[in-house]
Amino acid sequence: MADFVQVSTATPTHEQAVRLAQSVVKERLAAGAQIIGPVTSVFWHLGEFGTGEEWQLLLKAQAERYAELEAHLIKNHPWDNPEVAAVPIVAGSEAYLRWVSENTRPSSLQ
């Protein structure tokens, strides 16, 4: 079942998270998005230790479209070097995975 992935990224504001989520779902690069936050992040950035508040996005997608999704996120993200990471969905209900598949088909195949 590794045909599906959950992709995560984060934004500095809720509004940016909503806009980014809407853009990937509207383009059918993700079947759905969940926005969680605010979350507290602890990190190194440009050689400095930091703590900040972020809004996390979890996106449900087909593995074969990951490259398109990643490119869209990077192009439309407010940060220059955002986190974009995917983990395989190793199991899921048949109906749920069918929903992901049906809602991430390129619009030319709809």
Q: Decide if 67 contacts 11 (C-beta within 8 A).
A: no
Mean of pLDDT values over 73-90: 95
The full set of domains in the chain, from first to last, is 4-105 (3.30.70.120)
Q: Name the 3-class secondary structure at 77.
A: coil
Token representation of residue 104: 């991430």
pLDDT in tens, 18-38: 999 999 999 999 999 999 999
CA-based R_g, the chain, Å: 14
pLDDT over threshold 70, residue 82: yes
Average pLDDT of the chain, as a whole number: 94
CA dihedral 49, 41, 19, 95 (to 10 degrees): 140
Which pLDDT value is given to residue 2?
Answer: 58
pLDDT over threshold 90, residue 107: no
